[in-house]
Each structure stands twice: as C-alpha cells, then as structure tokens.
C-alpha cells in the first residue's frame, strides 16, 4: 500500500484530483447564479453536475497514465527511471491548495449572501374567471372548466380567485337582467371590486379532441395582458388540459413555486367529468340557497366518484344548512378521511370550515386558517375566515388586521370594507370603524351593514339624535338579506339606552311582525329579547316573560337562551332559567358553558350566596373571557359590598365597550348594556363614597 501511495504521489494523481475538484466546485457555484439569469432550463445545471462527477474517475485515470512535461503530454515514465524527492515539488501543492481555498471561500460567500437576501415574493394578484364559451355543443362542459381553473390557479400562493357566484350576484344587483357571468359582467364586477384581471376563455372542438384558449384581460380597458392555450386529445383529458393551462397562467403571473415536473398538481381531482359537472352545478344551486337540490347533486357526484372528498365536504355544508346536523357530521367525517384527494389549499380550508361550522372549535379554526394564509398569503377566503375565527375567540385586534389585509387584495370590496369596519368597532376603535363605514355608505347608501358602526360611534359620543337618524337610514337600505329589520332594532336599542322604554316597545311590536313576515326568525327573536328587556325595565315582568318565551319559540340560539334566562331571573322564574343554564353547560363549546355558569352564578347571587356566585363567574371566565360575565361579576361584587373589586370589573367592561355594541357578536345592536354598566358603576362609586366617576 505504501508503494502504491508513493506511486500516486509520483504521478501527481492527488494534485490532479485536488485541482479537478476545486475547479469544478468554482464552475458549478458560478453556474448556479449565471444560468438562471439567462433563463437556462433546470436540466442544464444538473447536467453539469453529472458531467463533473462522471469526469472525476476519468481524470484520475488520465493522471495515472500521462504527465505534463516541457515536451508536452507524455506517458508516465517507469518508476525505475524517476527519483521521487522526499517532499516532492511544493510549487504545485501551493497551486492546488490555493484553488481549493478560493473554491471554499467562493462557496461560503455565495451561501451567506443568499441566506441574507430575502426571496422576493410576488405581489398578490386577484382574478375573476368569466363564464367559458362552450363551442363544442356538449353541455357537460358548461360551468365545469371555470371551477377546475379556479382550483388550478389557486395553487399559486399569491393568486386568489374572486368567488364567481358572488360576482354574478353583484353583477345582477349592479345591472338588472344579468343572468350569466359573461366577459362584460365580469369586467363590471372586477372594476367595482378592484380585481386585477378577468380571465376569459372558450373550449372548441379540434378534430377528435378539444382546444382551450384563454385571455387575461384588463378589467377597465378590456385589453389582453397575455393569452394561453392548451389541447386535449379527448373529453377525458380536458381536466388535465385545464390543469396545464392553469400552470401557464401561474407562470405568466409570476409564480415561482412550479418546478416544471408536477403538471396539473392542483387540477380538479374528480375521477370523471360527470362527477365534476354534478359538483359544479351543485355549488351554484347551494349558493342560491336551494340546499335540498344541492345536497342531491352533491350525493350524485359522490356516487359517480366515491373518492371525491371536496363533494363530501360541500354536501355536509348543505346538510348543515338544512338543520340535519347528524348527517352533516357523518359527511364531514367522510370528507376529512379523504383529504388526500384535495389540494393542500382545499384541505386547510375544509379543516377550518369544519372547526367553525360543525364543532365550534374556533381556536383550532384559527390555527388551520393561520397555516392556510401563511402558505397562501393571497387567499382572500382564508384571511376572511381567519378574521371570523379570531373574532369568535374575541381576538378583535387580529380580526381587524386580517380585515385590513383583505382590503389590500380587494380594496374596493364592499363586503370586506364592511367587515373591517365591524371588526374595528368590536375592538373598541369606534372612530376608525365609523370613518370606514361612512365612506362605504356614502358610495352606496343601500349597503345596510355599513350603518351599524356609524350609529354606535354616535351613541358613544352622546349624539343620540344622529344615531337615530343613522338607524332610520338603515331601515331604508336594500342591500341586506331582510331590508330594514336591523335598523328598527337599532332604534329600539337607542330608546332603551336613553331610558325611553315605552318608545322602545312602540317601535318593537310592529318591527317584530315585520321580521316574521320577512322570514327572519333570528332577527325576530332578537327583537323579542329587546322587547322583553324594555318591559322588564319598565317593571312589567308579566309582559317581559311572555316576550322572552316567544323569543325562545322563535329561535333556540345560545344568544337567545342567555338573554331570556336573564329576563326569567329578573321576573323570579328560577326554574326556567336553571333549565337553560343546564342546557348551556352541557354543550362542548367553552363559550356556551361559560354562559351557563354565569346563569347559575346569577341564581346563587339571587339566593344570597355571593361567594358561590363569585366562584362560578371566575370559573366561567376561565372558560371564556366574556363581556357579560365580567359585568355580572361586577354586579355580584356590588351586592357583596366589594365596591373596589366591582369598579375594577366595570372599568374592564368600559375598555371593552366594543363588545357591548353587539353583545353576542351577531351584529344585533345591544349598546343599551352600556347604560346598565353606567348605573352599576355609579352604585359601586357611591359605595366607596366617591363623588366623581372613577377613571374620570
């Protein structure tokens, strides 16, 4: 072995290997920078690396056989003809070491600078896909390509697609007679909502196959930003062709996540065109509120493709809307077991919606949607649902931030502007919420949701007359599910806040009839609750309990149960109140259980057990830090003679006054609770002998 190593040294094989490695190292590092600059294909760098690896043993063999001399390249001399110096020639050693040092330094420099330079993410791009032209005569393609394209393009983290059904609904309201989302209607909506591009395409027969063409249009000018096309050899290859088309669109829009190998990774995953078409039709029907018909079509889609996970989750949503919770839960579980058939974006959406709509686990919903928007920062639905989930956990600051991010994607969207105003209102920033809402209703006086933040801000400033005018304008707004009904509830809320209970009753009685006639049981129940509170405040507990019971008959929502339980307690009906508390405590959601414990605490307080009442309320706060629980804790402290503790709780309620605007976070005005807060805080101050309000 020693003789062999001496021979390798004599033939300078080690030096040659060092030179080869160092030079290849430098060349490959440089190529990794230069090749992308000239848009070289990915295989070019891989080919260089493979060639370098293959060339290494060849170079060693050549170094063994040949030698560089003053006379050129010659075959190595026989070892008996050459005397090897003990240390060899040092000059070539220094050359080899120098090249290796340069290669190492160059590599370290490139790695450090690449780590220190953040990858520039493309700006968010919003698109709206118009109805495809179907020139094939085959109705199977109607509405199918649009849905497949949505899924495909949303594989890019920075691209978000405006909901097509919502766009059609808006186009119809903007321009009467619109029945389809053609290019003209899509451009109208895109300009109104601030969408960046309209995608307009068509499918045509091409021999035995099909050709799909698409243009990305500027909404304002109608000029194409780019054109793409794709071919399908037969009908079975159409969805794959749409997937390839979506990749071309993503590349045109600056997507850097495509690797060029995983074609159609985000394409429609339905196993057949028939299943995909049934699913797409069902989506349109469900959006129109015809969930019975939609459920039948979703079921058909799953029969045609038993592994169609997206169809199961949509079917579950329709069953849930129909009140068939057991069937909905079964379908959701099936959908969750098939999430492997969905795209990553759809999997995260499905999980988040499941947590919000089925289990009420808002903390898990926040985590699911947080992961979604981290991976897909332009996902408008993700940001909106994250805002809702954060809102339900009473993290109003985060909800407001997500609302702001949504406006960066859709700056003109009325829905997202209204949501941002509402989130800001709940966070207690009444001035900001009023500014945003006032701009919205100035542009569109018929947008009913924009009036609530303006009215609440007016009440908070003591301007009740402006609040009344605002709610009166709200009753005339037409762009709400039930025009005007929330506005009359707001007028009654102002009256109760001002202590004008008879006026509130006069407003509410016909308003309840109006809500019932409009088919809105939830809003009618909220008005019955307000009516019961007005009667109770006026000392008419018989009428109060009657109105409370009618509210329960109309709606069995937790918000109604909690509100009427307080009425029954005030009227001395502890049995009914205790039954409602037991129902709430038996639920899984922590907020429901917290409200149940609060009612039990109020029962204990009524019996004079203030210590037990306090313990129950603190346990409730451990489950969910609710405004109403803190208010009742303050009341318990007052009745127990602990005035300083009471003032602490009441001040916390004042700081969270945004929650009092709609105490159950359902946009039903309840600012009247702030009047009760003022009364009880005054009693606590008097108990301490204070002559001025605490905190100024």
Q: What are the pLDDT digits (tens) for 615-651?
A: 999 999 999 999 999 999 999 999 999 999 999 999 9
User: Is 498 inside a domain boundary?
Assistant: no
Give the integer Cα–Cα distance in Å for 4 and 64. 11
pLDDT, position 95: 59
Q: Specify whether 215 is located in the same domain as 282.
A: no
Mean pLDDT of the chain: 85
Where among 198, 227, 258 does a domain terminate? 258
Co-location of 60 and 191 in the same domain: no
370: containing domain? 275-388
Question: Which residues make beta-bridge pairs with 66?
Answer: 75
What pLDDT was estimated at residue 630? Answer: 97
| Domain membership flag for residue 266 | no
Q: In terms of domains, do 253 and 197 share one?
A: yes
Looking at the fold, whether 652 and 580 belong to one and the same domain comes out as yes
In this predicted model, what pLDDT tens digit does every residue of 545-573 receive, in sequence order? 999 999 999 988 899 999 999 999 999 99
Are 180 and 282 members of one domain?
A: no
pLDDT for 97: 61
pLDDT digits (tens, 9 = 90+) for 591-615: 999 999 999 999 999 999 999 999 9
User: What's the mean pLDDT in 491-511?
Assistant: 96
Q: Which pTM value belongs to this model? A: 0.72
| Residue linked to tokens 């949607």 | 369
46 & 95 share domain: yes
114 pLDDT band, cuts 50/70/90, is: low
Tens digits of residue pLDDT in 443-475: 889 888 899 999 999 999 999 999 999 999 998
The C-alpha atoms of residue 379 and residue 441 are separated, in whole angstroms, by: 26
Of 388, 420, 453, the position where a domain reaches its end is 388
The pLDDT assigned to 512 comes to 93
The answer to whether residues 562 and 694 belong to one domain is: yes
Q: DSSP readout, 537-555?
A: HTT-HHHHHHHHHHHHHH-
- What pLDDT is stored for residue 239 in this prediction? 85
Confidence check: pLDDT of 58 > 60: yes
Block residue for tokens 């009440």: 459
pLDDT at 483 over 50: no
Q: In residues, how long is the chain? A: 696
Q: Supply the pLDDT for residue 177.
A: 80
d(CA 184, CA 167): 12
Residues 209 and 292 in one domain: no
- The pLDDT, as a whole number, for residue 82 is 47
Provide CB contacts within 8 A for 580, sequence distance 6+: 561, 562, 564, 565, 568, 596, 599
Question: Over 80: is that where the pLDDT of 430 sits?
Answer: yes
Q: Are residues 692 and 621 part of one domain?
A: yes
In a domain, 402, yes or no: no
Q: Is the pLDDT of residue 155 over 90?
A: no
pLDDT score recorded for residue 31: 78
Residue where one domain finishes, among candidates 388, 412, 445: 388
Among 161-175, 346-360, 503-517, 600-614, which range has the highest average pLDDT? 600-614
The answer as to whether 481 is a domain residue is no
* pLDDT of 132 above 50: yes
For residue 103, is it within any domain?
A: yes
Q: What sign does the dihedral 652-654-658-659 (CA atoms) show?
A: positive
Instruction: Using pLDDT thresholds of 50, 70 and 90, give the confidence band for residue 55.
Output: confident
Residue 260, pLDDT > 50, answer no
User: Is 70 exceeded by the pLDDT of residue 30?
Assistant: yes
| Model pLDDT, residue 265 | 41
State the pLDDT at residue 87: 41
Query: Each residue of 262-280: pLDDT tens digit?
Result: 444 444 555 578 888 888 8
- Burial grade of 73 (CB within 10 A; 0-12, 13-18, 19 or more): exposed
Kindly state the helix (H) or strand (E) to which residue 69 belongs, with its residue range.
strand 66-69
Sign of CA dihedral 295, 296, 297, 300: positive
Establish if 500 belongs to a structural domain: no
Any idea what the CATH number is for the domain that residue 164 is in?
A: 3.40.50.10070
Indicate whether 469 belongs to any domain: no
pLDDT at residue 650, rounded to an integer: 97
- Parallel, antiparallel or unpaired: strands 224-232 and 209-217: antiparallel
Task: Take residue 569 and report the two structure tokens written for it.
Answer: 């307690």
Whether residue 543 is predicted with pLDDT greater than 50 in this model: the reply is yes
Measured over the CA atoms of residue 447, residue 449, residue 452 and residue 454, the dihedral's sign is negative
Look at residue 225 and tell me whether its pLDDT is greater than 90.
Answer: yes
> For residue 106, what pLDDT is reported?
59
Kind of pairing between the strands at 125-129 and 72-75:
unpaired
Indicate whether 488 belongs to any domain. Answer: no
Distance, CA of 682 to CA of 696 (rounded, Å):
12
Query: How many domains is the chain built from?
Result: 4
- CATH code for position 298: 1.25.40.10
The answer to whether 401 touches 391, Cβ cutoff 8 Å, is no
Indicate if 324 and 294 belong to the same structural domain: yes
Statement to judge: residues 600 and 693 lie in one domain: yes
Q: Are residues 561 and 664 in the same domain?
A: yes
pLDDT-derived band at 237, boundaries 50, 70, 90: confident
Burial of 517 (0-12, 13-18, 19+ CB in 10 A): exposed
Q: Does residue 419 have a pLDDT over 60?
A: yes
């Amino acid at each position: 072995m020693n003789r062999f190593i001496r021979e390798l040294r004599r033939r300078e094989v080690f030096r040659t290997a060092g030179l080869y490695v160092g030079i290849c190292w430098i060349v490959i590092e440089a190529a990794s920078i230069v090749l992308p600059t000239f848009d070289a294909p990915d295989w070019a760098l891989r080919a260089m690396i493979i060639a370098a690896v293959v060339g290494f043993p060849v170079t060693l063999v050549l170094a063994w056989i040949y030698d560089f001399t003053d006379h050129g390249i010659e075959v190595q001399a026989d070892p008996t003809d050459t005397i090897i110096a003990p240390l060899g020639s040092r000059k070539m050693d220094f050359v080899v070491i120098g090249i290796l040092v340069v290669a190492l330094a160059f590599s370290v420099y490139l790695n450090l600078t690449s780590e220190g330079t953040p990858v520039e993410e493309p700006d968010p791009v919003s698109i709206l896909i118009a109805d495809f032209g179907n020139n094939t005569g085959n109705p199977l393609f109607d509405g199918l390509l649009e849905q497949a394209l949505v899924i495909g393009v949303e594989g890019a983290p920075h691209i978000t697609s405006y909901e097509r059904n919502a766009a059609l609904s808006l186009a119809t309201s903007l321009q009467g007679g619109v029945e389809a989302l053609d290019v003209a209607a899509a451009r109208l909506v895109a300009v109104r909502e601030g969408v960046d591009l309209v995608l307009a395409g068509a499918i045509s027969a091409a021999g035995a196959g099909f050709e799909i063409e698409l243009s990305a249009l500027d909404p304002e000018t109608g000029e194409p930003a780019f054109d793409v096309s794709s071919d399908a050899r037969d009908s079975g290859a159409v969805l794959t062709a749409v997937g390839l088309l979506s990749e071309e669109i993503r590349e045109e829009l600056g997507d850097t996540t495509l690797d060029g190998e995983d074609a159609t990774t985000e394409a429609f995953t339905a196993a057949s065109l028939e299943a995909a078409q049934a699913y797409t039709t069902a989506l349109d029907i469900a959006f129109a509120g015809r969930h019975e018909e939609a459920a039948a079509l979703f079921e058909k889609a799953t029969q045609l493709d038993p592994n169609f996970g997206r169809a199961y989750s949509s079917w579950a949503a329709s069953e849930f809307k129909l009140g068939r919770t057991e069937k909905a839960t079964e379908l959701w579980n099936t959908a969750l077991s098939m999430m492997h058939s969905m795209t990553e974006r759809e999997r995260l959406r499905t999980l988040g919606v499941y947590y919000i709509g089925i289990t009420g686990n808002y903390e898990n919903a926040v985590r699911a949607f947080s992961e979604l928007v981290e991976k897909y920062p332009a996902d408008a639905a993700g940001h909106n649902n994250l805002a809702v989930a954060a809102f339900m956990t009473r993290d109003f600051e985060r909800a407001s931030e997500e609302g702001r991010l949504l406006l960066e994607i859709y700056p003109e969207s009325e829905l997202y502007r209204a949501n941002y105003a509402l989130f800001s209102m709940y966070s207690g920033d009444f001035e900001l919420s009023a500014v945003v809402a006032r701009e919205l209703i100035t542009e569109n006086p018929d947008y009913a949701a924009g009036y609530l933040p303006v009215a609440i801000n007016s009440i908070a400033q003591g301007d009740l007359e402006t609040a009344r005018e605002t709610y009166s304008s709200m009753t005339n707004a037409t762009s709400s599910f039930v025009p005007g009904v929330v506005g009359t509830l707001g007028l009654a809320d102002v009256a109760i806040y001002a202590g004008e209970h008879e006026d509130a009753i006069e407003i509410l009685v016909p308003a309840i009839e109006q809500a019932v006639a409009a088919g809105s049981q939830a809003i009618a129940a909220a008005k019955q609750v307000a009516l019961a509170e007005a009667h109770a405040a006026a000392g008419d507990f018989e009428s109060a309990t009657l109105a409370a019971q009618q509210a329960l008959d109309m709606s069995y929502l937790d918000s109604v149960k909690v509100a009427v339980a307080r009425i029954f307690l005030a009227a001395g009906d502890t049995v009914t109140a205790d039954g409602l508390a037991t129902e709430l405590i038996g639920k899984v959601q922590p907020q429901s259980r917290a409200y149940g414990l609060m009612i039990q605490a109020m029962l204990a307080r009524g019996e004079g057990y203030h210590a037990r009442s306090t313990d129950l309320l603190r346990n409730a706060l451990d489950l969910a830090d609710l405004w109403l629980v803190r208010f009742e804790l303050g009341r318990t402290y007052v009745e127990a003679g602990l005035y300083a503790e009471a003032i602490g709780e009441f001040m916390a309620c004042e700081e969270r006054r945004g929650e009092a605007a709609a105490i159950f976070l359902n946009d039903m005005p309840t600012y009247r609770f702030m009047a009760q807060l003022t009364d009880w805080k005054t009693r606590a101050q008097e108990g301490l002998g204070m002559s001025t309000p605490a905190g100024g």
